[in-house]
Amino acid sequence: MGLNESVVAGVDVSKENLDVCILPLGITKRFSNDESGCTELAEALLAAAPTRVIFESTGGLEMLAVGMLSAASLPVVIVNPRQIRDFAKACGLLAKTDKLDAKVIALFGQKIEPEIRPLKDEAAHELSALISRRRQLVDMQAAEKNRLSAAPKSVRAGIVRHIEWLEQQICSFDDDISKFIQSSELWKAKEQILTSIKGVGPVTAATLLAALPELGTVSRHKISALAGLCPYNRDSGKHKGKRAIWGGRAAVRTVLYMATLAAIRFNPIIKAFYDRLRTAGKVHKVAITAAMRKLLVILNAMVRDNRYWNGSITSA
């Protein structure tokens, strides 16, 4: 190992196992994806003293290990799996096994050195789970309403009953989310700050609290990048491509889009900003994305400064 070569661990997660590769030490080992296996993994990593422990986001399978390693003060980083796939393709690493995947993840951490950010606490994960389930119910309800319009008479009554049941479930989750936030004085205060601006309702505030814990702690550029609202150039040689957003947290963008549609109607600053872009010839999609970014930057400043909307915060 070179003098300046950092130790990085990559962990490939499946339902049953955790495959770890520690570079440049060349250590590979498999642990069970349960409490005892995570304890053994933490002990092995503490002995290796890595500068980063890289996980792919797998939709929840990684959370037990991430939680236990974080509790052991290990520098855990969760990375978007698309970044790992793109890195592997760029390196020509096309073969795929759990052991090789762990090595690719470790190589990614070693070469790219992704930023170590504070992870959500247990309460934030619980709130995120409630919001995710509510979103699933809303999607199911929308699908059933679409089916209803073309459904034959013999099945319409059943679809109507299911839509009504889904509506009851959504209302129940709204109550649970509200109670969850009200149980924390810190979250309650942040929710009151966020909802003080027209366009941001309880669901948007709850989603931001759960899915964007960095809100109020990072710069305007960083918070926009985390949400996937930073436009990136697509230039090559003499070709000047259109700038476009990509990556980031889809759940955050979804609620911000709806909040911005409301803000364009009721918030004079966001409305004037959107109208100015449209007058300048920007298409709706570009103007609404810019307005989403502006709204997020304002919210970031409000939370950072612990101040309510007063109609005059335009930038941060």
Residue 177, pLDDT score: 86
Residue 115, pLDDT score: 83
Residue 81, pLDDT score: 87
**Residue 178 burial by CB count (10 A; 0-12/13-18/19+): exposed, middle or buried?**
middle
How many contiguous H segments (helices) and E segments (strands) does the chain have? Answer: 12, 7
Residue 95, pLDDT score: 67
Least Cα distance to 143 among 159, 132, 161, 131 occurs for 159
Residue 288, pLDDT score: 95
Q: Is residue 247 within 8 Å of 232, Cβ to Cβ?
A: no
Element (H, E) at 150: helix 122-150
Residue 237, pLDDT score: 45
Task: Count CB-CB contacts under 10 A for residue 284.
Answer: 10
Residue partners of 210: CB distance under 8 A and separation at least 6: 120, 124, 127, 128, 131
Q: Is residue 38 within 8 Å of 70, Cβ to Cβ?
A: no
Tens place of pLDDT per residue across the chain (316 aa): 555 578 999 999 998 999 999 999 999 999 999 888 999 999 999 999 999 999 998 777 887 888 788 878 889 998 888 888 889 888 887 767 767 889 999 999 999 998 887 666 677 778 888 888 988 999 999 999 999 988 999 999 999 999 999 999 999 988 888 888 888 777 888 999 999 998 999 999 999 988 888 899 889 998 998 888 876 444 444 444 454 545 578 889 999 999 999 999 999 999 999 999 999 999 999 999 999 999 999 999 999 998 999 876 655 5
Which CATH number is 8-112 given? 3.30.420.40
Residue 127, pLDDT score: 82
For residue 161, the SS3 value is helix
Please report, as a single letter, which amino acid is at residue 113: E
For residue 228, the SS3 value is coil
Residue 250, pLDDT score: 84
Residue 242, pLDDT score: 53
Residue 9, pLDDT score: 96
How many Cα atoms within 13 Å fall on the side-chain side of residue 223? Answer: 26
